[in-house]
Structure 1
Amino acid sequence: MWSRRLALGAMALPLALLVLRDAPVRPDPPEPVAIGPAPQHGAPQPAIVSRAAWRADEGMVRQRATYTGPVSAVFIHHTGHPNGYACADVPEMLRALQADHVRVQGWDDIGYNFVVDRCGTIYEGRAGGVGRAVHGAHTKGFNDDSVGIAALGTFGSGVKVPRALIEGIAKVAAWKLRYGADPRGMVRLVSTNDESKYDKGETAHFHVISGHRDSHQTSCPGDALYQRLPAVREGADRLRDR
């Protein structure tokens, strides 16, 4: 999740945006751009808005991307943004998120591999190529052989999770998972550090599609979205031919 400092800043959004919270609209998002080679993963690549399209600051990136093995697990997050945003404003929000992750969190780049907004639009997150297994900074101890997908917003108890958001997350998960992975199954991962619920070297068992809270003491991705993870798993499974 993003820092408290940035979250407070975001609360100053114009009133015209905040009133959309209870009556969301679907403005035209930026034109999706699919980049990278077609993966051999068992599901088609969805349309993805590239970093170039949302104008990521490549000069801010501290180190070149590194890569991990085929994706065996998906970790779902939420970003902590207020939910009343207009989808047309997402590129600007992502630029602020990138700045927070680099300048405040001290990471090399935005931590998530992908971000999905409430309109279901999928954005490329961390640099390195959407068609490759980019090593993210989304789930400490379990960034190896995994992908991090963040839902743009805050999805605590009682919040209605947009259907388009669930469908967008499912599309990314279905595509990024290695061929043969079962989106409804379980996976065994080994922790790479002591900054999670599991000590370094300890084996952990997760759902193939898990929430951030499954590995850490956190409320992320929020109670409402966490309760919808079965729908994400089912949606991803329907899209795959294995």
Structure 2
Amino acid sequence: MRHTGRRRSRTAVSVTVLALLAAASLWLVPAAAPQPGTDVAQARAPGGNGRHRGARPVIVPRTAWRAGTIGTAPPGVRYAPAVKAAVIHHTSTPNGYDCASVPATLRDLYAGHAYGRHWDDIGYNFLVDACGTIYEGRAGGVDRPVIGAHTKGFNEGTVGIAAIGTFDSGERVPEPMLDAIARLVAWKLDPRGPDPRASVALVSTHDEARYPKGTKALLPVVGGHADGYATRCPGAALYAKLPDISARAARMQRG
């Protein structure tokens, strides 16, 4: 009887150890990644599995390109609840520039927007040059969802990023510029928003947009000016690079 009792004791201990190991293994198994065909945008929606923001890139402030010399005081800034999408533009200025001359180009653009178009500030939230330098555009704080004046009908909830130059069909888009735009997109998009490669529903606020005021439009999370407004901006060459920018931004957000 004592021999039988010892056998039962060892068996009970073995079962207990196995149960503990099985429970511990549950903590070691990583969460399953979305499988092909999974709605990645849904997986990253508010209330989903955590944040997916990219690292903050270096951004040259307005003071460094002397925005204050234009002579207009920035107005009261308006903010959106979050940045849901990025709208890519080009500035339609000459290519082949020396990057040291970019601050002067920014001041010219600002003056054109403020005096030529009677806007209250430069329209773009950010501008990126051929060397990959990112500049703060519209005032209000680079880390906040500032409502710009870059895409009529879809300014609210988007970030306007302008590539300095003209990128019509046949033009080359510099690699440092593409990389910088992707890094900026990865950082600025809502950390709990949709995947950069996905689409997002935005409501038009102006009848002159591609979609009448009040229309809910499904637009790319990383799209071109032409997606929301009747224009050739950001040029055929840059527009063709948007899927590449989206993919890069998605990789950067995954760390």
Instruction: Place the TM-score, normalised by the shorter chain, in its bin.
Output: 0.7 to 0.9
Q: 1:204 aligns with which of 213, 217, 221?
A: 217
Displacement of 1:61 = 3.1
Structure ranking higher in helix proportion: 2
Displacement of 1:193 = 1.1
- Other-structure match for 2:68: 57
- Other-structure match for 2:189: 177
CA distance in 1, matches of 2:74, 2:66: 17
- Other-structure match for 2:59: 48
- Other-structure match for 1:129: 141
Q: 2:233 aligns with which of 203, 220, 226?
A: 220
- Other-structure match for 2:124: 112
- Other-structure match for 1:163: 175
Q: What is the identity, as a one-letter code, of the residue corresponding to 1:47? A: V
Where do 5+ consecutive residues of structure 1 fail to align? 1-39
Report SS of the residue matched to 1:183.
Answer: coil
CA contact (8 A) 2:74 2:139 kept: no
CA distance in 1, matches of 2:52, 2:93: 31
Q: Deviations over 1:168-187 (max 9, x none)?
A: 11011100000133100110
Where do 5+ consecutive residues of structure 2 fail to align? 1-50
CA contact (8 A) 2:84 2:158 kept: yes
Q: Deviations over 1:41-70 (max 9, x none)?
A: 611110000001111126413512111111
CA contact (8 A) 1:124 1:130 kept: yes
CA distance in 2, matches of 1:214, 1:65: 25
- Aligned-residue sequence identity (percent) comes to 54
Q: Deviations over 1:14-46 (max 9, x none)?
A: xxxxxxxxxxxxxxxxxxxxxxxxxx7611110
CA contact (8 A) 1:61 1:102 kept: no
With normalisation by structure 1, the TM-score equals: 0.81
CA contact (8 A) 2:80 2:156 kept: yes
CA distance in 1, matches of 2:147, 2:222: 17
Q: Deviations over 1:212-234 (max 9, x none)?
A: 00111110000000000011001
Deviation >6 Å, runs of 4+: none
**Paired positions, count:** 203
CA distance in 1, matches of 2:187, 2:253: 8
Q: 2:102 aligns with which of 77, 90, 93?
A: 90
**Mean CA deviation greater in 55-64 or 183-192:** 55-64
CA contact (8 A) 1:138 1:148 kept: yes
Q: 1:69 aligns with which of 77, 81, 84?
A: 81
CA distance in 2, matches of 1:42, 1:96: 33
- Other-structure match for 2:160: 148
CA distance in 2, matches of 1:146, 1:173: 11
- Other-structure match for 1:24: none
